[in-house]
Amino acid sequence: MTPGDWDALYAVASDPPLWANHPEPDRWQEPVFRLFFNQALDSGGALIAIDAGTGKVIGSSRYDLGRAGPKEIEIGWTFLARSHWGGRTNAALKRLMIQHALNEFDQVIFWIGENNIRSRRALEKIGGTLTDRLLEVQMATGLVRHVCYGIDRKSFEHGPLSDQAWAEIPRE
């Protein structure tokens, strides 16, 4: 992600229903998203998601070490345009990111708002395992409890994002 990605990414993020069940449901507002965008840039691990067929920006995600333990990296802050919900896009994005991360780290973790059911289901669908770790994060709506999911090398190699399982998933 670069500062030049602002217009295209905010065009995606400015859709209020995109954030309806998110712990920060006002992230579609320009000042709120600007803070999110700047934090993503500052992280050094932010990526832009682009639809290969159209070349258009459809969302973003990022890597971060700040809340990860030894030999771990966090993937999170992912959002995709609603036009890309329900298909392979989220799984494809996470598969690429996890596969890359596991070359250097033993485990990938994901902190998700405890009540963010859509994101929790999506993570379980790609093989994330709920851990006993909890974290409370101050957000615009107040203190939000987060749960932690993990995917390690073994669960990745044998899970729904493995090469074999991925080859069997029908293309959109």
CATH number at residue 36: 3.40.630.30
pLDDT of residue 23: 84
pLDDT of residue 53: 92
pLDDT of residue 168: 77
Distances (CA, A) of 2 to 5, 40, 44, 110: 6, 9, 10, 23
Q: Residue 111, SS3?
A: strand
Residues of the chain with pLDDT under 50: none
User: Rounded to an integer, what is the distance from CA 31 to the centroid of its chain?
Assistant: 21
Q: What is the 8-class DSSP label of residue 156? A: H
Compute, in degrees rounded to 10, the torsion defined by CA atoms 112, 1, 80, 153: -50
The three-point CA angle 155-158-160 to 5° equals: 90
In sequence order, which ranges of 2-88 are alpha helices (DSSP H)? Answer: 6-13, 30-43
Q: Residue 53, SS3?
A: coil
pLDDT of residue 57: 97
Range of the domain at 83: 3-168
Q: Which helix (H) or strand (E) holds 87?
A: none
Tally of structural domains, the chain? 1
pLDDT of residue 153: 95
User: Rounded to an integer, what is the distance from CA 125 to the centroid of its chain?
Assistant: 13
Tell me the pTM: 0.92
